[in-house]
Amino acid sequence: MQVGFIGTGSIGTPMAINLNEDYPLIVHDVTREKATALLEKGAKWAASPKELAAQCDVIHTCLPGPKEATQVVLAEDGIIAGAKKGSVYIDHTTNSPELVRDISAKLNEQGVEMLDAPVSGGTEGAQVKQLLLMVGGKETTYEKYKGVLASMGEVIYTGAIGNGMISKITHNCATFCVSVAMMENWSVAIKAGLAPEKIVEVFQRAGIGRNMDVHSRLPNTLFQGKFDPIFALNIAKKDIGLATDLAKSYGVPVRVSELVLQEYLEAINRGWGKYDSSVVLTLQEERSGVKVRLPQK
């Protein structure tokens, strides 16, 4: 099985190095020098995406974004111009789900399959094969190539084409939102007199640092649609109010926290105060028309 890899940046290079341990590799990047480490390990060079695709059974890309993916795949010298019938294109770019579905449809017309497989774990995870690869596409295609993907990390199948990208971008957005909220409250704590090293230690050892919401509380409440109080909404609202009051007293703006407080006040006004605090999340379910529930075991 001949494998190709396009995009040898800070994450792509260690991913490709790991692939190169298990499969013969052909590489391409806009700058040949970026592929030096791979070429020194025996990988071959292709002068264009088209040239690479014409030689490969499996074509990987790891690119900066949708603009670059469009160029690499759909340009005159792009993957689509060289890909062989029966080959597969696997995109690790954090990309637009709509673009991925469009590219997949175009490739399918000429007998080429596609998987979208964005990654989580950064350069460090790529270097030690501890990436999480979130894969979308036909399940039969996934089953055929999951061994190739496993050369780079842990693999999870997410469903139809584009679902890998949906998984990645929604997870990242939520992560960044949480980071802003944490920064707001770190700044309040430090301005109120807490040493930075202590607030970091608390956050690392308390619920957020251990991901208790996703691993413990929400599976027993929201994900089941059961809101018997584990941490009552009234109490949670009180805690948020205390934190935002503290911020005001020190003149620290906390826009995300104030927005969350308004959510909790709306839920309190619904008469939900004695339920578990996760009931506040059902406000978004109402607005979106989507329920977040796990299958009953």
Per-residue pLDDT tens for 269-289? 999 999 999 999 999 999 999
Q: Give the confidence band of 208 by pLDDT, cuts at 50, 70, 90.
A: confident
Q: Are residues 21 and 132 in the same domain?
A: yes
Which pLDDT score, from 0 to 100, does residue 295 have? 87
Distance separating alpha carbons of residues 275 and 234, to the nearest angstrom: 8
Domain range spanning residue 198? 168-288
Residue that is last in its domain, among 161, 184, 219: 161
pLDDT at 211 over 90: no
Are 28 and 112 found together in one domain? yes
Amino acid at 247: A
Altogether, the residues listed in the chain come to a count of: 297
User: Residue 215, Cβ neighbours under 10 Å: how many?
Assistant: 10
Q: What is the pLDDT of residues 132-179, one digit of tens each?
A: 999 999 999 999 999 999 999 999 999 999 999 999 999 998 999 999
125 and 187 share one domain: no
What's the pLDDT score for residue 8? 96
**Is residue 296 a part of any domain in this protein?**
no
Is residue 294 one of the residues assigned to a domain? no
- What digits encode the pLDDT tens for the residues 83-133? 999 999 999 999 999 999 999 999 999 999 999 999 999 999 999 999 999
CATH number for 252: 1.10.1040.10
What pLDDT, on the 0 to 100 scale, is given for residue 117? 98
Among 104, 135, 161, identify where a domain stops.
Answer: 161
Q: Where is pLDDT greater, at 216 or 59? A: 59
Average pLDDT for residues 219-246, to the nearest whole number?
A: 93
pLDDT at 297 over 70: no
Q: What is the pLDDT of residue 169?
A: 93
State whether 18 and 149 are in the same domain: yes
Residues 16 and 150 in one domain: yes
> Tokens representing 143?
């089953």
Strand, coil or helix: 294: coil
Residue 131 counted as domain residue: yes
> Are 188 and 151 in the same domain?
no
Q: Are residues 114 and 237 in the same domain?
A: no
Q: Residue 207 pLDDT > 90, yes or no?
A: no
Please tell me whether residues 32 and 151 are part of one structural domain: yes
Residue bearing the bigger pLDDT, 75 or 211: 75
Q: Does 33 have pLDDT greater than 70?
A: yes
Q: How are beta strands 25-28 and 3-6 bridged, if at all?
A: parallel
Residue with tokens 């084409």: 161
Sign of CA dihedral 159, 161, 162, 165: positive
Q: Is residue 295 part of a domain?
A: no
Q: Which is the catalytic residue, given 50, 67, 168, 191? A: 168
The pLDDT > 90 percentage for the chain reads: 93
Domain boundary among 161, 183, 203: 161
168 is catalytic: yes
Please check the confidence at residue 192 and state whether its pLDDT lies above 70.
Answer: yes
**Summary mean pLDDT of the chain:** 95
Same domain, 71 and 212: no
Longest dimension (CA), the chain: 66
